[in-house]
Amino acid sequence: MTFWTGTVDRISPEAPVPVVNVQHVEERAGGAGNVAANIASLGAGSQLLSFVGDDDAGRRVNSILETAGVDRHLHIDPKSRTTEKLRIVSRNQQLLRADFEDRPDSGLLARSVTDFKELLGSADVVVISDYGKGGLANVVDMIGAAKERGVPVVVDPKGGDFTRYWGATMVTPNRQEFESITGVPVNTPQFAQAAGELVESAGLEGLLVTLGADGMMLFLASGDVIKQEAQAREVYDVSGAGDTVVAVIAVAIGLKLTWTLCLELATRGASAVVGRFGTSVVSLSDLKTDEVDRI
């Protein structure tokens, strides 16, 4: 992700659009790379399996992830390009976003599954970040392989078919994603029933619905429901908050913490990153509690 930040003090004479005097350029890992960077920032081992193009953007993201302490397994697709998201910002306000992306080669997709199965041998938890860009065409096989080895799987979902994630430990839709797939608003009495039915139909152990300022709710296959209130905080930028949630949840599951503590820590992490600009990563100090000190 690239951020061009500057000031606006005039309108273009060529069209009714602001002219941004760019004064600062910053690049960060986005998408699954941001999840991996968050995990590494928490002191856990982090291995990223993904796709990049044979281009300068791919080399830059590899360097960013190396600096973040992420062990990279990047398939280079010479026929595709590395996904880039450019944001132009002035006075903390995003003025424009431009995306550059392509879909990975089918042959690389098949090879990535082989690599995934090999990497499972050293994994305590798997995070699958689905952005609907074509890189998870074989997600059913991947989750099945993890389940066979007893490795928990946390999924940040995309799309309207959660049965693709059958057998996952936890799937983490946000409010809009949940309402889109179930047709049930979260502020109605039918919310809990719809969530429970989704857990059952998709064969999940748990469904964590993130609700922004309203916190989050975890619906377990056992029928238990755990609600976590949000922490009051001035919101600076919501970019990457969902990535932080799945990263913290994954690390907490790896440590075999209780579900209640998992949610509390995820809320602390999300609250911290929305108070900072861009796809900021969470740190252990952001999660500081008496319970964490004892871990």
What residues are annotated to the active site? 243
Sheet holding 126-129, edge to edge: 126-129, 153-156, 170-171, 206-210, 216-220, 225-228
Where do the H-state alpha helices sit in 132-286?
A: 139-148, 175-182, 191-201, 241-254, 259-274
Name, in order, each residue with C-beta under 8 angstroms of 216's C-beta and a sequence gap of 6 or more. 208, 209, 210, 227, 228, 230, 245, 263, 266, 267
The candidate with the shortest Cα–Cα distance to 71, out of 115, 102, 24, 21, is 115
The candidate with the shortest Cα–Cα distance to 246, out of 66, 67, 44, is 44
Indicate the helix (H) or strand (E) that contains 119. helix 106-119
Q: How many CB atoms lie within 10 A of CB 138?
A: 15
Contact of 85 with 99, CB cutoff 8 Å: yes
Cα distance from N-terminal residue to C-terminal residue, the chain: 33
Indicate the helix (H) or strand (E) that contains 164. none
List the structure tokens of 37. Answer: 């960077």
Q: How many CB atoms lie within 10 A of CB 21?
A: 10
Contact of 277 with 241, CB cutoff 8 Å: no
